């Protein structure tokens, strides 16, 4: 029996959910209908309580935290989300959306409450210079739909199989952020089911409090159901450059130079763990767009850079192949099982002036034991002013660096618990130099610390939460606000 047929069997063995029994605080199935607990509203989709669905919703890419929801909604329409939000509100049940479950520390989980599986809501409509996309759609699907019309969203995450709602709820940064801000900066309008069960449209002009509390707002005020995303003309082809440096300082100096003059369309950077007798490696990854016929001017693009020319790797590829460049590696990691190991990730934004010293100290003692066999260390800058999201908190300097330790608890590496502890201590050190957490990782953080994190934005965030989720039922796994009743 394959896993899929086993899962199907488990699900069909389960009776349909018809209501929630407040006295026992359990979901009631068909078999209990006689008890008069069948008050579930009529839905286009369905609510399920089978162990396979609940088990999947109690896990994420981190495999570190497990909270079992009481039930999972597979919505047939946005109206199902509204109806079930109202229902959960009435019964004091907590609710969270699940996009692709690629959070790493239980951010999208709910103990005993309702998980809304967003994957069925995935429609995409491409217009002249925008796309209207349902929140469960994947960025890979949005890329393909827009590229078919010669258009593209301005910013992509490195991995495309994340949901639109999932990345807009945290921000979504990538190598184009130095030109266009985060993915959430490209959003012109949202449709949201708020915690009071209303369906609201919002934008920078219409209900700006909700708009700014939803983008990078970690699902605290509503479930994003639809986003209107700005589009740009797409390039046909890209030239991809990998440039090597002897030190962190040499890498970051050139990264800042090219980010400030904007010569490349995309800029990131990666630090490679020591192998054999070789020490750390430092690589700048950059991309220039072109139409496929007139190649970019290498001399101009590489002018004045201090990398080691003999180590340059330059390659042309289609724009989609570039966006989807992780797919092959992910397939390999899946085939070896490494993809399914725990992922205690650490992601923080650092002020440029403190980046070199901080990164050098952080990697000094780092070995494969601390980051795992497939661990990835990323480092890249962008101008702070490109990001205009009150809730994506960034250091107070002109240029900020995203620094990530994407750890995998591989076989033979450190334990997941040790890695989470190491994350916590590195978080405190980064905070001491003015760093801010990018809340997609696995760093234990208290509500008081989140309050400090949001600083001057806290009052507006809290007011939006009180207004749009007055019972405090939404997305408790983020641990930002104290849980509601």
Would you tell me which residues interact with ligand FAD (CB under 6 A)? Answer: 60-61, 96-103, 107-108, 118, 135, 157-159, 162-163, 165-167, 169-174, 218-219, 223-224, 440, 475, 477-478
Is 150 or 208 the residue whose CB approaches ligand FAD more closely? 208
Q: How far is the CB of 260 from ligand FAD (least distance, A)?
A: 22
Is 166 or 414 the residue whose CB approaches ligand FAD more closely? 166
Is 305 or 322 the residue whose CB approaches ligand FAD more closely? 322
3-state secondary structure the chain: CCHHHHHHHHHHHCCCEEEEECCCCEEEEHHHHHHCCCCCCCCCCEEECCHHHHHHHCCCCCCCCCCCCCEEEECCCHHHHHHHHHHHHHHCCCEEEECCCCCCCCCCCCCCCEEEECCCCCCEEECCCEEEEECCCEHHHHHHHHHCCCEECCCCCCCCCCEHHHHHCCCCCCCCHHHHCCHHHHEEEEEEEECCCCEEEECCCCCHHHHHHHCCCCCCCEEEEEEEEECEECCCEEEEEEEEECCHHHHHHHHHHHHHHCCCCEEEEEEECCECCECCEEEEEEEEEECCCCCCCHHHHHCCCCCCHHHCEEEEEEHHHHHCCCHHHHHHHHHHCHHHCCCCEEEEEEEHHHHHHHHHHHHHCCCHHHHCCCCEEEEEEEEHHHCCCCCCCCCCCCEEEEEEEECCCCCCCCCHHHHHHHHHHHHHHHHHCCCEECCCCCCCCCHHHHHHHHHHHHHHHHHHHHHHCCCCCECHHHCCCCCCC
Q: How far is the CB of 118 from ligand FAD (least distance, A)?
A: 5
Phi/psi for 211 (5° steps) reads -55, -50
Q: How far is the CB of 334 from ligand FAD (least distance, A)?
A: 11
Q: How far is the CB of 335 from ligand FAD (least distance, A)?
A: 16
* Alpha-carbon dihedral angle through residues 321, 324, 328, 330, given to the nearest 10 degrees: 170
Is 136 or 351 the residue whose CB approaches ligand FAD more closely? 136
Q: How far is the CB of 337 from ligand FAD (least distance, A)?
A: 16
Q: How far is the CB of 483 from ligand FAD (least distance, A)?
A: 14
Separation CA 482–CA 465 (nearest Å): 11
Q: With contact defined as beta carbons under 8 Å apart, do 301 and 264 qualify?
A: yes
Is 19 or 101 the residue whose CB approaches ligand FAD more closely? 101
Is 60 or 285 the residue whose CB approaches ligand FAD more closely? 60
* Alpha-carbon dihedral angle through residues 350, 354, 358, 360, given to the nearest 10 degrees: 120
Q: How far is the CB of 171 from ligand FAD (least distance, A)?
A: 6
Q: How far is the CB of 238 from ligand FAD (least distance, A)?
A: 17
Q: How far is the CB of 223 from ligand FAD (least distance, A)?
A: 4
Is 239 or 343 the residue whose CB approaches ligand FAD more closely? 343
Q: How far is the CB of 219 from ligand FAD (least distance, A)?
A: 3
Q: How far is the CB of 176 from ligand FAD (least distance, A)?
A: 11
Is 5 or 335 the residue whose CB approaches ligand FAD more closely? 335
Q: How far is the CB of 222 from ligand FAD (least distance, A)?
A: 7
Is 37 or 84 the residue whose CB approaches ligand FAD more closely? 84
Q: With contact defined as beta carbons under 8 Å apart, do 343 and 62 qualify?
A: yes
Q: With contact defined as beta carbons under 8 Å apart, do 375 and 339 qualify?
A: no
Going by C-alpha positions, the residue among 304, 292, 306 that lies closest to residue 234 is: 292
Is 60 or 356 the residue whose CB approaches ligand FAD more closely? 60
Separation CA 419–CA 270 (nearest Å): 20
Q: How far is the CB of 100 from ligand FAD (least distance, A)?
A: 3
Separation CA 341–CA 68 (nearest Å): 20
Is 107 or 410 the residue whose CB approaches ligand FAD more closely? 107
Going by C-alpha positions, the residue among 131, 232, 183 that lies closest to residue 387 is: 183
Is 172 or 414 the residue whose CB approaches ligand FAD more closely? 172
């Amino acid at each position: 029996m394959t896993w899929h047929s086993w899962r199907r069997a488990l699900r069909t063995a389960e009776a349909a959910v018809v209501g929630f029994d407040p006295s026992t605080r359990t979901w009631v199935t068909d078999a209990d209908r006689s008890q008069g607990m069948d008050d579930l509203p009529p839905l286009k989709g369905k609510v399920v309580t089978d162990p396979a669905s609940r088990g999947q919703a109690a896990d994420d890419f981190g495999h570190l935290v497990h909270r079992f929801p009481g039930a999972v909604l597979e919505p047939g329409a946005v109206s199902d989300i509204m109806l079930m939000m109202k229902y959960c509100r009435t019964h004091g049940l907590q609710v969270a959306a699940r996009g692709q479950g690629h959070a790493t520390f239980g951010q999208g989980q709910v103990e005993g409450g309702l998980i809304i599986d967003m994957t069925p809501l995935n429609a995409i409509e491409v217009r002249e210079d925008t796309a209207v996309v349902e929140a469960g759609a994947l960025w890979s699907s949005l890329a393909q739909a827009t590229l078919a019309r010669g258009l593209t969203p301005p910013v992509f995450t490195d991995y495309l199989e994340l949901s639109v709602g999932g990345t807009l709820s945290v921000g979504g940064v990538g190598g184009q952020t130095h030109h266009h801000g985060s993915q959430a900066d490209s959003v012109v309008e949202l449709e949201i089911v708020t915690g009071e069960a209303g369906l609201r449209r919002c934008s920078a002009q219409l209900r700006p409090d909700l708009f700014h509390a939803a983008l990078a707002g970690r699902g605290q005020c509503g479930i994003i159901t639809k986003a209107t995303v700005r589009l740009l003309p797409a390039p046909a082809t890209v030239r991809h450059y990998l440039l090597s440096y002897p030190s962190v300082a040499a890498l970051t100096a050139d990264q800042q130079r090219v980010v400030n003059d904007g010569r490349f369309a995309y800029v990131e950077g990666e630090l490679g763990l020591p192998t054999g007798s070789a020490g750390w490696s430092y690589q700048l990854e950059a991309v220039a767009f072109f139409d496929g016929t007139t190649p970019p001017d290498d001399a101009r693009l590489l002018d004045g850079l201090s990398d080691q020319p003999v180590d340059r790797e330059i390659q042309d590829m289609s724009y989609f192949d570039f966006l989807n460049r992780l797919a092959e590696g992910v397939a390999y990691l899946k085939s070896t099982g490494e993809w399914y190991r725990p992922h205690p990730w650490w992601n923080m934004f650092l002020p440029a002036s403190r980046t070199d010293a901080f990164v050098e100290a952080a990697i000094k003692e780092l070995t494969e034991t601390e980051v795992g066999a497939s661990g990835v260390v990323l480092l890249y800058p962008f101008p702070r002013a490109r990001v205009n999201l009150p809730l994506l908190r960034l250091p107070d300097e002109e240029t900020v660096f995203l620094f990530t330790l994407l750890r995998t608890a591989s076989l033979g590496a450190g334990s997941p618990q040790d890695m989470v502890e190491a994350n916590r201590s590195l978080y405190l050190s980064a905070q001491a130099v003015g760093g801010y957490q990018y809340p997609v990782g696995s760093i234990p953080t208290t509500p008081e610390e989140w309050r400090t994190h949001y600083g001057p934005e806290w009052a507006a965030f809290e007011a939006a939460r009180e207004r749009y989720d007055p019972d405090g039922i939404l997305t408790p796994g983020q641990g930002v606000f104290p849980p509601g009743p």
